[in-house]
Amino acid sequence: MFRSVLASLGLAAALITPVSAQEAPTETSEWRLVIHGGAGVILRENLSEEQEAAYRAGLEVALERGAAVLREGGSAVDAVQAAVIPMENNPLFNAGFGAVFTAAAEHELDASIMDGRDRNAGSVAGVRYTKNPILAARAVMDQSEHVMFAGKGADAFAAQVGLELVNNDFFDTDRRRRSLEKVLKSRERTDADRHGTVGAIAVDAEGNLAAATTTGGMTAKAAGRVGDTPLIGAATYAQNGVCAVSSTGHGEYFIRVAVAKTICAEMELAGASAKDAAQSALDQVAELGGDGGVIVMDADGHYEYVFNSAGMYRGMIDPNGFETAIFEAE
């Protein structure tokens, strides 16, 4: 599958072979990119072979776009941005086109990005017309003296810096409309399609870390509700020499645990491993009643996927190869 995706991108696939997390040697890797495409009730029996292949292909495109930046010596922050854009544009993922509907049958999108070099960050909350919210977050970081814009002002800022705007119904898809109808009918909190988010973390050839996260939020969310995704320290954090984190899950709980910063603080101050720090933050999320997952990378590029949901779309690429996974046991 990866080979065919690469071929369609006009790239040579022969050099790239899958590796497992355990086999990937961090010391020989000059750069590395890790992504997620959302966590939730993702069970093998609920995904057809075609659906699984489509998700894996979507992850592979994202990995390859980010890797193309890193291979050329580009920065981690450019790589995480490049990786999440194709997922924002892919209706399979709950970000950008194909984002979930609010209870008012509209779309309100959140995104954030952080550069570990100087802990500069940018985010937008509740944008309705910006085609690629991650580009708006990046523009906030690079082209304003602020960190976060919300609502009308965020879309206006995106327009001002020349980003592509679309009508709100550009983000509509039948699948998400069906999810909205189902959730409104049942108020089923664990519906497989209720949430999802995409994110990326990376270390570049110079050892810089970065993180990006972007989402449509949760199906049938109240108008104006903002989740963890645009909040630096909740869903996104990057600090050179310490960590990069991007999370996905039930945002209300991730905000209350300040998941991304909590993980980085445990690693920095208590010397915890990426895995232990992530597990401890997710345990706190679970104690409060939430579920979801994180991707975490330490200063050496060692990475972990940690989640307490039934599955998480995820993947990694570095000079030694790539991997993708969806279900819990893979």
- The 25-44 site mask, x for binding ligand ASP (CB under 6 A), equals -------------x------
Residue 197 is a catalytic residue:
yes
Residue 202 or 260: which CB sits closer to ligand ASP? 260
Identify which of residues 31 and 253 has a Cβ nearer to ligand ASP in the complex: 253
Piece of 22-30, 58-66, 173-181, 243-251 that binds ligand ASP (CB under 6 A): 243-251
- Judged by CB under 6 A, does residue 218 bind ligand ASP? yes
> Does residue 246 bind ligand ASP (CB under 6 A)?
no
Question: Closer CB to ligand ASP, residue 244 or residue 255?
Answer: 255
The answer to whether the Cα torsion of 236, 43, 282, 296 is positive or negative is negative
Residue 102 DSSP one-character state: B
C-alpha span between 311 and 57 (Å, rounded): 17
> Is 229 a residue that touches ligand ASP (CB under 6 A)?
yes
Contact present, 132 and 163 (Cβ < 8 Å): yes
Size of the site for ligand ASP (CB under 6 A): 14
Q: Residues 33, 219, 259, 211: is their CA dihedral positive or negative?
A: positive
What DSSP line would sit under 281-314, residue for residue? HHHHHHHHT--EEEEEEETT--EEEEESSSEEEE
Our finding on whether 134 is near ligand ASP (CB under 6 A) is no
Q: Which residues contact 72 (CB under 8 A, 6 or more apart)?
A: none
Residue 6 touches ligand ASP, criterion: CB under 6 A:
no
Which of 193, 233, 228, 194 is CA-nearest to residue 214?
A: 228
Cβ nearer to ligand ASP, comparing 74 with 290:
290
For ligand ASP, the binding residues (CB under 6 A) are 38, 195-197, 215, 217-218, 227-229, 248-251
Q: Which positions are catalytic?
A: 197
